[in-house]
Amino acid sequence: MSFRARSKTTIVLAGLVLTVSGCVAEAEPAGVSETEPEVSAESEDIAVVAGSDDYVILYSGRAESLVQPIIDVFTEQTGIEVDIRYAGTSELAAQVLEEGEQSPAAVFLSQDAGALGALSDAGLLAELPESITSRVDPEYSSRDNSWVGVTGRARVIAYDSETVALEDLPTDVDDIVSPKWSGKIGVAPANASFQSFVTAYRVIRGESAADQWVSGLVMSDPQKYDKNSAILEAVDAGEVSLGLINHYYWYRMASERGGDQMRAQLYFLPAGDPAAIVNVTGAAILQAQSSDLDASSLVEFLVSDQAQEYFVTTTFEYPLVPGIGAPEGLPELAELAVGDFDLSDLRSIATTQELLRTYGLIF
């Protein structure tokens, strides 16, 4: 074959490959789910109702290994196919903000309330029906019905059991910034849950006390990390003595390494302490898809008893629906401090961030 013919063939083949792969990708069925949805009598009933096509796209800031199994159950029960896009919550939020009205997603499952607040402020979230919002205690959901809390995570202290005795542990949040812990505390100041805790401190104990606490923290030379999991690893390696994290990280690590084997152990501050507040994960429906009944079915399922129990047993997070028991060994949700503040109030979070920025804890 002459050079000219060879190059022509190559170009044509390359073009074909590009087109074919593009078509194949578009025709991809629901992600990794292997269960074939059965067209049962139930799903036929749903199909008759207007605004339902048995298909919904979910953007999940929560990990696939956690979310996929329970969504598979949902698909099995309702026949609604769910295509799930997994990524970090803040990246997904940035993506949805960028997509705007053109977002293909119908439901957004978020790791924290801040992201939901950002989407709500941009006017991208639909008002949730009462059948959904009534299931969860209003303290754990948005004030304007734009999102609903799904699970709760308590702020705790992970401590190095080899070098710290139980008696020495702080009994109050202010003890954390005392000189004896200087250089030995691990925090993730950029993390949403840490910022929620500081916001709670501001609300519960006042702005000047909060200012004092943050400056005290900076003076004790804390070790800064990007993620809670990194803090826990550091505590487990003896790098720091105390780490401010969310409770379930410890349980997750314990399931991989064995709780008794671990150097890091958990400690809950007494109820009423700002450092013991509960953050939430949440779900919302995007405004552009507000008429899609499949979307509301999905969110309703996430706050159903079945899904709540799943979260309790799989991630050791707190259920937010009354009547479901807290994970074993953990204090009851009602016992933990709940500040009277909106978890997704970005203006308040922005003030917290300014405070942290002043003291150089975040950028």
Taking the complex as a whole, the smallest distance from the CB of residue 49 to other proteins amounts, in Å, to 25
Provide, rounded to whole angstroms, the least separation between the CB of residue 93 and other proteins. 6
Backbone angles phi, psi at 52, to 5 degrees: -130, 130
Nearer Cβ to other proteins (92/173)? 92
Query: Using CB under 8 A, which residues numbered 334 to 353 contact other proteins?
Result: 346, 350, 353
- Least separation in angstroms between residue 154's CB and other proteins is 18
User: Considering only CA atoms, which of 44, 24, 266 is closest in space to residue 161?
Assistant: 266
Applying CB under 8 A, which part among 60-68, 145-153, 163-171, 323-331 lies near other proteins?
Answer: 60-68
Nearer to other proteins, 93 or 299 (CB): 93
- Determine the Cα–Cα distance for residues 329 and 113; give it in Å rounded to an integer: 26
Q: Determine the interface stretch with other proteins among 81-89, 156-164, 271-279, 334-342 (rule: CB under 8 A).
A: 81-89
Q: Which of 108, 197, 213, 225 is in the footprint of other proteins by CB under 8 A?
A: 225
**Binding residue for other proteins, selected from 47, 70, 72, 95, defined by CB under 8 A:** 95
- From the list 222, 221, 200, the residue with the least C-alpha distance to 269 is 200
Residue 241: which of 160, 165, 177, 167 has the closest Cα? 160
Q: Of residues 113, 156, 245, 253, which one binds other proteins by CB under 8 A?
A: 253
Q: Which is nearer to other proteins, 66 or 209 (CB)?
A: 66
Collapsed DSSP state (helix, strand, coil) of residue 286: strand
Q: Smaller CB distance to other proteins: residue 217 or 253?
A: 253
Q: Taking the complex as a whole, how short is the minimal distance between the CB of residue 324 and other proteins, in angstroms?
A: 23
Q: Which stretch binds other proteins (CB under 8 A): 137-145, 154-162, 207-215, 233-241?
A: 233-241
Residue 360 identity: G
Q: What would the two tokens of residue 323 be?
A: 């009547």
CA distances from 345 to 61, 112, 309, 350 (A): 19, 12, 28, 9
Binder among 1, 5, 32, 166 for other proteins (CB under 8 A): 32
Residues 46, 47, 73, 94: which binds other proteins (CB under 8 A)?
94
Please give the DSSP secondary-structure letter assigned to residue 125: B
Furthest CA-CA distance within the chain: 85
CA distance 193 to 190: 9
Cα separation of 140 and 54, whole Å?
29
Place of tokens 């405004």: 287
Q: Which two tokens stand for residue 218?
A: 């900076």
- Pairwise CA distance, residues 337 & 239, whole Å: 29
Instruction: Indicate whether 190 belongs to the interface with other proteins (CB under 8 A).
Output: yes
- Rounded to whole angstroms, the Cα distance separating 206 from 168 reads 27
Contact segment (CB under 8 A) with other proteins among 69-77, 148-156, 245-253, 336-344 equals: 245-253
Q: Where are the beta strands (DSSP E) in the chain?
A: 55-60, 81-86, 107-110, 148-160, 185-187, 223-224, 242-246, 264-267, 278-285, 318-319
Asked if residues 269 and 276 have their Cβ atoms less than 8 Å apart, the reply is yes
Residue 286 or 333: the one with the smaller Cβ distance to other proteins is: 286
Range in contact with other proteins (rule: CB under 8 A) among 79-87, 139-147, 280-288, 317-325: 79-87
Q: Is 249 in the site for other proteins (CB under 8 A)?
A: yes
Q: Which residues in 89-140 belong to E strands, given as ranges?
A: 107-110
Q: Between residue 127 and residue 166, which ones bind other proteins under the rule CB under 8 A?
A: none
- String of contacts with other proteins for each residue 2-31, x by CB under 8 A: -x---x------x--xx--xx-xxx-xxxx
Helical (H) or strand (E) element with 159: strand 148-160
How many residues lie near other proteins (CB under 8 A)? 66
- Applying CB under 8 A, the residues found at the interface with other proteins are 3, 7, 14, 17-18, 21-22, 24-26, 28-32, 57, 63-66, 83-88, 90-91, 93-95, 97-99, 102, 104, 114-115, 118, 190, 192, 195, 224-226, 229-230, 233-234, 237-239, 249, 252-253, 255-258, 346, 350, 353, 357, 360, 362-363
